[in-house]
Structure 1
Amino acid sequence: MTRSKREELREHHRPEAIRQRLEHPAPPESMPDAILGGIDGCVTTFAVVSGAFGAGFSSRVALVLGFANLLADGFSMAISNYEAVQAQREHVERAREREHEHIDLVPEGEREEIRQIYARKGLAGELLEQVVETISRNREVWVETMLTEEHGLQRGALSPWRSAWVTFLAFLVVGAMPLLPYAVPGLAPLHQFLASLAIAAMMFLLIGMLKSLVYHRSVWQSGLRTLLMGGAAAGLAFLTGYLAQTLFGVAV
């Protein structure tokens, strides 16, 4: 570890810095929602483009199908993400209500749970009893401790609306990119498809690289991994369209 990095960490762990960080925790990250929406949007529209090209559909048909799927699938994904986050919030709230009820009905049993939880962490004797007494003295601390230690639920300000909007916007913005060549008049179908392919590949690569920067992973490894996953989805769509055109004569 370099000296500058060590000094930065020491500054970040000063008592005052720690106090401010705990009093004002960082808001939940929207990056996972943006990455999910961006990847799925690009996969969705380029899969439509690939399937249309493989089936021999005209550029106009590919453009109409692409935008129709972009809006419909983007809205569907946003709603799904909203419901998932909302269900998670409700799960946490139900667990919190149960813990409040258990403290009212069987407080000694709940103290024993605290005791055994921290005994597993290596505490024992008088120190363990002091920890149990301190936690159970404050009802909210008691409940939050049980949520984290017993149920494995993390406390956080989950926002279903924010998750839905971030997913939807990322889906639309990134998903529209592979459709741009089809909106340019005068391009031959093959050139439109190749340009769309290049744009989609660039989007997959950039999203993967961005993800690596956020989560501190290998930039190129993450980028290439995302590129391969998106390419596999597009390849399946192309193969499906080609087989539909070959076996059933589906073409325009």
Structure 2
Amino acid sequence: MTEPTNGSNDEGPDKAHDEAHGGALGSRLNWLRAAVLGANDGIVSTAGLVVGVAGATDDRAALLTAGLAGLLAGSMSMAAGEYVSVSTQRDSEMAALAYEKRELRDQPEAELEELTELLEGRGLTREVAREAAVQLTERDALNAHARVELGIDPDELTNPWHAAWASFLAFTVGALLPLLAIVLPPAGWRLLVTVVSVLAALVLTGWSSARTGGAEPGRAVLRNVVGGALAMGVTYAVGTLLGAAGV
């Protein structure tokens, strides 16, 4: 008798458990998107702000005021924007589910045929697709149509408050780094410490987001670093020009 190879064992149940299922992956990516967007915005926008001010003045009070104002305004803006965006998405999902519920009530046979055709389109034979559609309908018709037809998990609808708080906290944490880096060191070291800290943080957030999402980190890291460096360079140049002009 031929023994199973190690390769086939590696492709078995252990690998299946390592792979994220659709609902879990979607939920994780939604949180990841909000958190990474918030952190990157906090790092880059606050760094650009304080570096720009540093180009015009080395006054610690001015730098702290600008940094705190940017942190508060940015975190509130991110939270509000995320709440509105995710609320719109949730409203659309709820409306789609309500419409589907009415169709199931008014046209059960048509909806059963629709589910059969959708399953058939995924590679099942007509007979198997019909039997699967009947069983799914008997168990939970709305859930079956939501998942197969709409791509929605009724038990895991997006939560606008979760997304808003995630963005708020992520932006605040990200913004604290350049704020502390610009006000804590001695005047002669502030700019260097801030630039190095910000670029290192952008490498970390780019790598973390890519790895958590299952993507290659190289491009994400490069995008973060180039975008952050460009933002700081432009604002510092503007701040320097304004400072030299006595504005």
The answer to whether TM tops 0.5 is yes
Normalization by structure 1: what TM-score? 0.79
Q: Distance in 2 between matches of 1:184 and 1:13?
A: 49
Partner of residue 92, structure 1: 93
Superposition map of 1:230-249 within 5 A: 230-242=228-240, 249=245
CA contact (8 A) 1:49 1:193 kept: no
Aligned structure 1 segments of 4 or more residues deviating by more than 6 angstroms: 24-27
Q: Distance in 2 between matches of 1:4 and 1:59?
A: 61
CA contact (8 A) 1:55 1:243 kept: yes
Q: Distance in 1 between matches of 2:52 and 2:9?
A: 52
CA contact (8 A) 1:43 1:230 kept: yes
Residue identity (%): 26
Superposition map of 1:211-250 within 5 A: 211-242=209-240, 249=245
Residue 216 to residue 120, structure 1, CA distance change in 2 (3 Å): closer
Query: Are 2:32 and 1:31 aligned?
Result: yes
Q: Distance in 2 between matches of 1:28 and 1:106?
A: 32
Aligned AA for 1:202?
Answer: A
Normalization by structure 2: what TM-score? 0.80
Residue 9 to residue 176, structure 1, CA distance change in 2 (3 Å): farther
CA contact (8 A) 1:27 1:157 kept: no
Helix, strand or coil: the match of 2:150? coil
Aligned AA for 1:73?
Answer: G
Q: Distance in 1 between matches of 2:123 and 2:98?
A: 29
Partner of residue 148, structure 1: 147
Partner of residue 198, structure 1: 196
CA contact (8 A) 1:78 1:167 kept: yes
Partner of residue 133, structure 1: 134
- After superposition, the C-alpha distances for 1:118-138 in whole angstroms (9 at most, x for unaligned) are 222233343232123222223
- After superposition, the C-alpha distances for 1:119-163 in whole angstroms (9 at most, x for unaligned) are 22233343232123222223x3x2223223333334525332222
Partner of residue 10, structure 1: 13
Helix, strand or coil: the match of 1:150? helix
Aligned length in residues? 239
Partner of residue 116, structure 1: 117
CA contact (8 A) 1:60 1:182 kept: no
Q: Distance in 1 between matches of 2:122 and 2:70?
A: 51
Helix, strand or coil: the match of 2:124? coil
Q: Distance in 2 between matches of 1:211 and 1:244?
A: 37
Aligned AA for 2:144?
Answer: T
Partner of residue 167, structure 1: 167
- After superposition, the C-alpha distances for 1:72-94 in whole angstroms (9 at most, x for unaligned) are 11011012212222222222111
CA-based RMSD: 3.3
Aligned AA for 1:85?
Answer: V
Q: Which stretch has the larger CA shift, 192-201 or 121-130?
A: 121-130
- After superposition, the C-alpha distances for 1:83-125 in whole angstroms (9 at most, x for unaligned) are 2222222221111111111111122221222122122223334
Aligned AA for 2:91?
Answer: E
Query: Are 2:184 and 1:184 aligned?
Result: yes
Deviation at 1:213, TM superposition (A): 2.6
Deviation at 1:56, TM superposition (A): 4.6
CA contact (8 A) 1:78 1:168 kept: yes
Q: Distance in 2 between matches of 1:3 and 1:174?
A: 45
Residue 241 to residue 183, structure 1, CA distance change in 2 (3 Å): closer
Residue 57 to residue 161, structure 1, CA distance change in 2 (3 Å): same
Q: Distance in 2 between matches of 1:225 and 1:104?
A: 50
Deviation at 1:250, TM superposition (A): 5.8
**Among 206, 209, 215, which residue is 2:207 paired with?**
209
Deviation at 1:181, TM superposition (A): 3.4
Residue 112 to residue 8, structure 1, CA distance change in 2 (3 Å): closer
